[in-house]
Structure 1
Amino acid sequence: MVSTSSTTEATGCDRAEIEDFWRRWLDANRRAEEEKDWSPLADFYAEDASYGWMYQPDEHFMAMGREEIRDYALGTEMAGLDGWTYEYLSTVIDEQQGMIVGFWKQRSGILDDNGEEFFIEGIGGSWFGYEDGQFVWQRDWFDLSSAGHTFLAILKSGKASPGLVDRMSLDGPSQPGHYTRAELPSSVWPPVVAAQSTTQESGATA
């Protein structure tokens, strides 16, 4: 349940503050998509923030710190996706815990022979931790099967950009920021949530 209180001691922010931050984030996303450069979005993250997602059970991406987020999450991981957009269709804000969840639709900007845009049917989203005017962590999810289907459809149509073709030829696990589950430098779940889960599990077995 999302709190409707105007302030929270846990995050030191009020509802208006976090909503204003989110509006600025959405505006910056739109500019990044227009300019085909996502790297300036890194300035919204804390210096020691973490940002990750899972490709499959033993292949994960994790960027540690603002500059890895800039270089990897918003750099190498976005290679070949020039012209793609990630429109946030719905947002849930929990100011009591300092969390934001945004649900986005991934569109390619590429049209098929019938003039229809290729897009990923599955639901994608981002879960953010907010504190003191910055994101302190982010975890994404997306429908990998649906994404793969759309990428292959674009390739078969002959309309894929050279950058997208190059992207799809890469060996994923060898790319910067990719880890096996055992090698991850941060938890799959956000650190604050993972810590709470560990505490609850310890209490249950005590």
Structure 2
Amino acid sequence: MSDVSRETSERLHDYARLIEKWNPRINLVARSTLQDISDRHIRDSTQLAALAGPVTGKWVDLGSGGGLPGLVAAIHYADQPVDFHLVESDQRKATFLRTCSRELSLGRVTVHAARIESLIPAAADIVSARALAPLPLLMSYVDRHLKQGGTAWLMKGENWQDELRDAQAQWQFRYDAHPSQTHQNAAILEIGDISHV
């Protein structure tokens, strides 16, 4: 990743090694994709930082799992005034996320070992999610935790257009679909101005 600072590149490398170390015990990523972790997972999540541009405030990553994309975004914004809140209900994965934030010196990361719907609404400037839930359900989580005027960045697979149509039957929102640079026919949805139909 030649377009990032040396410190960011080193953190991303160290993060990849942590995933490789922990993955046999708690299955953070599919075993078949572990050999290609930098391209398949980290570069995929890095797209968010490029799309979001300069940000400040509170970023909430829903269903963080192994830290994709939330921890990767936190690495990219490590020197910026952004507080990251990673929400992961699996206690083992939450422990992994805390270990990563400590070992990678990410002082502005907080891990919430809780269910998304049980957390107090976060009033986040940014909400992100990757491979978490179908868009109609995901919109209810985003609506709960995104503040008025905030932006959601949702990484969706090749069926994103069908999911979008289903979501529009229940929700009103503005969106832009950004083509994924790493997965053919996938998209990153930039969503705001959410209201229930």
TM-score, normalised by the number of residues in structure 2: 0.29
> Larger Rg: 1 or 2?
1
Whose strand fraction is larger, Structure 1's or Structure 2's? 1
The answer to which structure, 1 or 2, has the higher relative contact order (CA under 8 A, 6+ apart) is: 1
TM-score, normalised by the number of residues in structure 1: 0.28
